[in-house]
Structure 1
């Protein structure tokens, strides 16, 4: 066959793929055609191509092949292409996402008597937006939560540091309210802390401070989420919001469970609680602003 005839056969193949007239493959693909790079589950010969593109077109009804550059000889046709489509139907067990795909690739086909008898192909999968990959919107939320959690961890470190310095300065003992809160919560919910008396006491000593970490990191993650949602207050407002969130998250359960009553606190008690939480708010807010700057100051 001549070069022009081979090009015409390849163009018919692309037209059949784009139009969905897949029965055309019976006249274009040899029965014993060898595909060295078949698609998922693709069988032999023209029927294999028909089945493959039937499945693909059910997943991507607007599937379209665009040839960007083509060269041919009396035996072979080689071309670079782009395939586009929208994921509107199930694909290998994945539900439709509505996302667009764009796949670039290259193909070489060998023709005899006007039919494709051998094929090699390669597509640039890392370079296209795969419809089953994680949704960018979900990734933004995950990134916002992680950024906020990191900022909250920094703020918690500041809170703990000031608390320990206060213990050193005033020679006061560590607060037992976190452990008492965990113990009371376990009693109320019926959760048994395992071990003998000494082991339970030791476990409570570890669980108590962990609740503070959970609150500090959790408040930071919540602030990160609200920033992603569009609420981006200034440094002062976000510092106060973080401090208030940590105060409520830390003291709220203790008050509800009857471990402490803020109404009975002395001025020194209030100072020893509020000042570290203000430090938490300032450091958390500053870290969050540094890790997630306003859109106007982000690099483009």
Structure 2
């Protein structure tokens, strides 16, 4: 069983918890965050989690639903980059300050930062199709250099040609060459050395086609997206250090001082109830230490 809970009021009390039988933390961030908003009756919430919760799909879902994710980086370095489809829409001030998930999603797809994400580690910008760059294949045909200078590896053969890709390079590239949310895959024909591509972004590419090069690939697609929305999520090391005190310390207290390092019951429902008693005992003791028994009794009577 895995227990997840939230500490509120800056090292004060536990706000909510979730007991699961998942082997890891993947896929739990959004589920627990939405449970928390319902329990505490708050529209938006900021969550701090370790890199075990790092999932691009989960983080994107959280952002589209009014949840600010401070999640440790597992693959990214200084910032996490997400791409959304651009949707032209007039965003009024009423929509921008709204905390309804559908309005937050509309703002993000229109390239407007919702008010609930101001003063956070999230920034947004709209990128238009602009510069022409190219992929250049090496002489040994094992690698290819992308327009921004990253190295792509040969991943498979397709007919007489070869396909090159690098998921890690695309994750950290801010000057996108594809409107897709996934990483870029490039196909080279048997005799091709250059593959031209149109870039999304304000920075000129490192690799550009030679002056006499005529693009033989058809990137003039009718339905190709002219604009994309780029969301940047900066790493926040102080938040991660703060998580150790806010979350890990109460968990250790509950685990050892209340004998919750193992459970006696079986099944999700029974285990949830058993651990709930331990968390309740922790909150009562914590409340007594913070405000005293007299204030607690007065609050109950009121």
Q: Same fold judged by TM-score > 0.5?
A: no
Structure 1-normalised TM-score?
0.20
Larger Rg: 1
Q: Which has the higher helix share?
A: 1
